Amino acid sequence: MTLAIFDLDNTLLNGDSDWLWGQFLVEQGIVDGDHYESENLRYYHAYQAGTLDIFEFLAFQLKPLADNNLNTLHQLRDAFMLEKIQPTITVAARELLDRHRQQGDTLMIITATNSFITGPIADELGVEHLLATEPELTNNCYSGKVSGTPCFRDGKVVRLKQWLQIHSCSLDGSYFYSDSHNDLPLLNEVKHPIAVDPDERLKAHAVTMNWPIISLRGAF
């Protein structure tokens, strides 16, 4: 079994689902607009710079899940998928996934964004296996805490190796597509690392390492 692994935000999506969810919550009046947008931007810049404190960010990002009941959250998520996510899914991304399906590869999305947001996106893309940051669910309510290892930077490697062990699989012949230098720990683990519309740090590293650089947006 050959794994074809894909980052989600700014890789398969022409946008960041985490960021878009925050914007959507602001537009719906679920969170305080000025404060939430300011904090969301601060964390996004830290992510781009490679200095993000993932636990601090998750305490912020998961709070709206804890502050709202599941029925409300599911209604919001349905609208979010239609309004924010569908427009970010490119034909090129779907075609790339289809090429790996036709090769007989096993498809996986691995993302730091929590599974409440990303589960329906993986379903929409027809990707069976999803490794995402898991929000803790207690008595049918989100606690605002993380369950297990956040799926971020080295945490992606940890989570993937756990999955491989459970499924008795290896990374032989594996692919990983990502846009971000934050994913270098996992890019260095696979047989075929591929930079997709990469940030400047990943692009420079990919050039140095002679990794393929592709675009799902027509930018390269």
116 and 63 Cβ atoms separated by less than 8 Å: no
Judge whether 7 counts as a catalytic residue.
Answer: yes
Tokens found for residue 213: 């650089």
Judge whether 67 counts as a catalytic residue.
Answer: no
Report the 10 Å Cβ neighbour count for 102.
8
Set 9, 16, 105, 197: catalytic member: 9
Q: How far apart are CA 161 and CA 170, in angstroms?
A: 9
122 and 107 Cβ atoms separated by less than 8 Å: no
Set 7, 105, 183, 197: catalytic member: 7
| Cα-Cα end-to-end distance for the chain | 30
6 and 107 Cβ atoms separated by less than 8 Å: yes
Catalytic residues: 7, 9
